[in-house]
Each structure stands twice: as structure tokens, then as C-alpha cells.
Amino acid sequence: MLHEILALLADGQFHSGEKLGAHLGVSRAAIWKALQPLELQGFPIHRVRGKGYRIPVGAVLLDGDAIQQQLSAQCRDRWDWHLYQQIDSTNAEAQRLIAATGVRPLVVVAEQQAAGRGRRGRSWISPFGQNLYVSFVEPVSGGAQGLEGLSLVVGLTLVQALEACGYQGCRLKWPNDVLLDGAKLAGVLLEISGDLTADTVVIIGVGVNVLMESDDSIDQSWTSLRRSGQRGELDRNRIVATFASGLADALALFSRSGFAAFEQQWQGYDAWLGADVKVISGSNVMAGRNLGVNQRGALRLLTEDGEMDVSGGEVSLRLDHATGA
């Protein structure tokens, strides 16, 4: 019933519990009981006595049929889709599906992650129904070397999908983050398994903050599409379908031409191009100027000793405020 209630509220107008109940053939109390757990988890339900309930336009739950209807034909044929209400993490579920049924292209999407994770062992805050948590499984021939720059391609494709959904100003932070208004909006996590020199499988995990407005446990500057104040699409079905359709095209080009085909586009979105930065890997810190990326997706860093290339992995890039960046 929750899907039906939110679909009625998705026009952004107030609807009384009595009218919602009459439409669905249930009591006003049943409407309240259905919405209360969602409200307690932080879902943006605006409740006003005498007026009823209201949610932001498009803030509906994930719907497999709605996603499929909006996918490109190529995308519908490429992946087998799996939609869950709650799992530990979409990447972990993707790994279990591979182990149980064999390696094949598939997508895992969830309303909530109980143990979502990001790069470098960080947790990814994943409340129910508020953000986008999705993982794509891609079999790869030729080993892990052919995956250089893939995480950058995924980030670029996501930014372009968000632009298509009405959001301007998204930028890329090497190697795996999407920023909006200088704060983290989305992240990419790649996990590789199999024979790293031959047949390999890559799991492409993506998290996007969509409706979330507050969380005191996040220890870095962050934002969400709703927080941005832009009047873009908030329907996560539309967002994931737009992104997946673009990703299918991007992966096809990447398999033919590698990151070189995306290098100039990526640099056009580089949030910190020309800035003084620090590259942190464990206890090692390298300082220099961000010159962009090369054709393999490595960061070009101009240091006191000259230009050097820094590959992705367990590294972190930060602005070097000590030099005035």
C-alpha cells in the first residue's frame, strides 16, 4: 500500500488522510500507520493538521516496472535487474548472485543498505527510500589492466545523467567522487574479482544522495539533490534509468577505446583542475598542482620535482589549503 500512497502524493500537493484512505479503500488510521515508519526514518513527508500529507514532487519508491519502461532498448537487454527493499550492500549482494548463478551482467538496486560501504573502508549512510544505491556487474575479458580509468568514466556518465535530469553544476573529484556546490553528492566504488590477468568481473557500485536532508554521522561535507534547491528530477526510477542507459553506451565505448575517449570530457568537469592539492596514501603525502588526467585516467600532478602520474586505488585527494588553493 505504501507505493500507492506515495504515488498519490507524488504531485507535491497536500492530500488528507481521509481522502487518501477513501481512494485506497482503507481508514485514515491505516494511512497514518503506513507513513509513520517512513517519516521516522527521515523520508521527506510534510504533515500539517487540517491539510494532510505532502512529499516533494517525484519522491516515490523504487519500482522495477517503472525503471524498465524508461530504459533504452540496449540497456534492457544488457542487464538482469534485481530490486530489494533492504540488503547489507548492493555490491555484496551482487557478489552473492555471481557466486550462486555464475558471472553475468546484472544490476542490484536497493531501497536501503544496512552496511553500505564506500572507498577506503568508509561506510555509506543509506537510509530507506531517500537515496540511490545501485551496483552493476560487468564481465571483462583481458584482465584488470583494461579497467584503467573505468571509475572516472562511471562518474562522468553519472554527472551527464544528472544534467539530463535537470541538475547543473555537478563536478568530478578524482578519482571517484561527484561534487555539487563543493560538497559530496555521489561516489563510485569498483570491486574486481576473478583472474586479474584474464577473465575478470567488475562490480560498479554507485551511491547518490537524492532526498536526504540531514545526518549527523557523516564526517565530511555532503549534499543531496534535494538539498541543492534545484528543481530537477527527484524520481529515483527516472534517475537510475537515465544513468543506466548512459552507462550502457559508455561501457561499449570504453571497451573499444578505453579512457582515452573520455579524457577531454572528464577534464571539463574536473572540480579541482589547476588547484594545489595533496594526494594521501596511508602515511604518504604528495603535494602539487592538479594538471588533470592522462589517457589512462591517472592524475597528473606537478610537484617540486616535476610532473608525475598518480594512479587511483586507496588514495585520497584533498585541496592543499596551506598553499592558498
Q: How far apart are CA 176 and CA 165, in angstroms?
A: 21
The helix/strand/coil state of 14 is coil
Instruction: From the candidates 54, 78, 117, 119, give the one annotated as an active-site residue.
Output: 119
What is the spatial distance between Cα 278 and Cα 290, in angstroms, rounded to a whole number? Answer: 9
The 10s digit of each residue's pLDDT in 96-155 is 999 999 889 999 999 998 876 655 556 656 788 899 999 999 998 877 778 999 999 999
Q: Which CATH class is domain 2-54?
A: mainly alpha
Q: Given this model, what pLDDT does residue 27 score?
A: 94
How far is 111 from 87, CA to CA, in rounded Å? 8
Cell numbers for 34, please give them.
503506513
pLDDT tens for 39-59 read 888 888 999 999 999 998 888
Per-residue pLDDT of 227-252, as tens digits, reads: 999 999 999 999 999 999 999 999 99
DSSP per-residue string spanning 209-261: E-S----TT--S-B--TTTT-------HHHHHHHHHHHHHHHHHHHHHHGGGG
Please tell me the predicted confidence (pLDDT) of residue 142.
74
Q: pTM for the whole thing?
A: 0.90
How do residues 246-290 score in pLDDT, each as one tens digit? Answer: 999 999 999 999 999 999 999 999 999 999 999 998 888 999 999
Q: Rounded CA gap, 325 and 65, in Å?
A: 47
Query: In angstroms, rounded to a whole number, what is the distance separating the alpha carbons of residues 325 and 322?
Result: 7
CA dihedral of residues 135, 138, 139, 144 (deg, nearest 10): -90
Query: What are the residue ranges spanned by the domains of the chain?
Result: 2-54, 64-268, 276-323
What pLDDT is stored for residue 322 in this prediction?
Answer: 56
Averaged pLDDT score across all residues of the chain:
90
Question: Among this protein's residues, is 278 annotated catalytic?
Answer: no
119 counts as catalytic: yes
CATH number, domain 64-268:
3.30.930.10
Annotated catalytic residue within 184, 236, 289, 300 = 184
Determine the 3-state secondary structure of 105 from DSSP. coil
Instruction: Work out the percent of the chain whose per-residue pLDDT is above 70.
Output: 93
Does 19 participate in catalysis according to the annotation? Answer: no
Q: Which CATH class is domain 276-323?
A: mainly beta
